[in-house]
Structure 1
Amino acid sequence: MNWDIIEGRWTEFKGKAQGQWGKLTNDDLDVINGNRKELAGRIQARYGIAKEEAERQIDEWASRH
């Protein structure tokens, strides 16, 4: 799915994102507000993974929605 769509409909996708990355808090999701770079950064911080892995997970997640 085009990231612009996810960003524009972030309130609908927040629950799906939290389902995928359960360590993200509601505050994280509010700060992310659909920003892909912010999402990647928060995933990196919460899960201790590399940027490339966070981006891969986001790509995979976005393709399913």
Structure 2
Amino acid sequence: MPINWDQIEGNWKQFKGHARQKWGKLTDDEIDEAAGNKQILAGKIQERYGIEREEAEKQVEEFRNSLK
């Protein structure tokens, strides 16, 4: 069962390495700024990768589903 966003936000230090691996173009500061907030994370991905918001949100959801 995938974890929820409250768990991700609460344990962001544990999961931010996974985010760094998935989105290597994001800076450490951007990852720290997102702090597990899915809307902020999607916005950072959208900006850094030049993709549509919908695609960024899809990637963020896939990221959540990949965490155990």
Q: TM-score range by the shorter chain?
A: over 0.9
Aligned to 1:23: 25
RMSD: 0.7
Number of residue pairs aligned between Structure 1 and Structure 2: 65
Q: What secondary structure, in the 3-state scheme, does the structure 2 residue paired with 1:63 have? A: helix
- TM normalised by structure 2 equals 0.91
The share of aligned pairs that are identical, in percent, is: 54
Where does 1:20-59 land on structure 2 (aligned, <5 Å)? 20-59=22-61
**Runs of 4+ deviating beyond 2 Å:** none
- TM normalised by structure 1 equals 0.95
Which residue identity does 1:3 align to in structure 2?
Answer: W
Q: Distance in 2 between matches of 1:33 and 1:62?
A: 14
Q: Distance in 2 between matches of 1:48 and 1:24?
A: 12
Q: Distance in 1 between matches of 2:22 and 2:66?
A: 11
Which residue identity does 2:40 align to in structure 1?
Answer: E
